[in-house]
Amino acid sequence: MAALKRAVLLLLLSLYTAFAAGPFVWAAMLSLRTTTEIHRNHFAPPNPAHWDKFAEAWFTSNYGVYFTNSTQVVVSAVLLLTLVGSMAAHCLARYRFRFNRVIYFVLFSTIIFPPQITIISLFQILVQYGLYNSKLGLTLVYVAIQLPLTIYILESFFARIPSDLFDAARIDGYSDWEIFWRVSLPIALPAVATTVILNFILLWNEFLYAVVLITEEANRTLPLGIQRFIGDTQEDVGMIATGLMIAIIPVVVVYAFFSERLIQGMTAGAVK
């Protein structure tokens, strides 16, 4: 009886897994088939698998450009975020001064802000400073939007480091900056890794700010690039699917290696 219940449960859970992962599996299959093949039968497995479509998407459909742009913007933003965010988090966690909690609260509360409250003016500001339609402008905006979450995660971690370590470093004559660089950061490496992975994924997938602040083809990030192809009357499903795969694969790779860390990072604030 117990075995039967267990079997039914497993069946239901497997069905749900198909439901959750199915679309991606389908996309993967579609990415390896030509559009003609697809329209003949939308659900057949790739036969043969057209690996050259990836090259075609990369060069002819410009996905290579989008991928490169995304990489440049996201990597720069993440690096900057990590440096700037950890500095702020270290300071807020370990120094006691009057406006500490106020600053922390101000930075943290922006998580609730709907993007619309800043995006229109950001558009104006970037145009004004000649940063509109530029990767640099987008990078800076990306740093700004992920700063609250980064500081939140890192601050709580820094605060938990036993102060004995800092006292010992101080006695050993380390300066404030050295303490940050040689004590705080190395110890907080797990949390820093988490924010790096988290920021990478969130910014890699970011769409709204990109669509407002980038218009030129040469500067488009991946999400923008993909979006460009849909809605055409002659929708090239096969090519779009290949493009989707190009966008998904880095995320899947990161997830495959860091699933635990990523899951924990993304769910960090929610468990009480």
Q: How far is the CB of 48 from another protein (least distance, A)?
A: 22
Query: Interface with another protein includes 15 (CB under 8 A)?
Result: no
Contact residue for another protein among 29, 57, 73, 91 (CB under 8 A): 91
Q: In Å, what is the CA distance from 111 to each residue of 32, 108, 199, 265?
A: 39, 6, 14, 16
Judged by CB under 8 A, the chain residues 122 through 141 that form the site for another protein are: 122-125, 140-141
Cβ-contact 179, 165 below 8 angstroms: no
Q: Which is nearer to another protein, 12 or 55 (CB)?
A: 12
Contact residue for another protein among 11, 15, 49, 120 (CB under 8 A): 120
Q: Which H or E element spans position 51?
A: none
Judged by CB under 8 A, the chain residues 204 through 233 that form the site for another protein are: 204-208, 211-212, 222-223, 226-227, 230
Q: Give the residue from 58, 209, 187 showing the smallest Cα distance to 120.
A: 209
Cβ-contact 249, 70 below 8 angstroms: no
Query: Interface with another protein includes 105 (CB under 8 A)?
Result: no
End-to-end alpha-carbon separation of the chain, Å?
Answer: 36
Contact residue for another protein among 57, 151, 153, 192 (CB under 8 A): 151
Burial of 93 (C-beta count, 10 Å sphere; 0-12/13-18/19+): buried
Q: How far is the CB of 139 from another protein (least distance, A)?
A: 11
Q: Which is nearer to another protein, 87 or 193 (CB)?
A: 87
Q: Which is nearer to another protein, 36 or 272 (CB)?
A: 272
Q: Give the residue from 268, 266, 248 showing the smallest Cα distance to 70.
A: 248
Q: Which is nearer to another protein, 48 or 105 (CB)?
A: 105
Q: Which is nearer to another protein, 58 or 201 (CB)?
A: 201
Query: Interface with another protein includes 60 (CB under 8 A)?
Result: no
Contact residue for another protein among 52, 55, 115, 257 (CB under 8 A): 115
CA-CA distance, 63 to 225, in Å (whole number)?
Answer: 7
Q: Which amino acid is at 187?
A: I
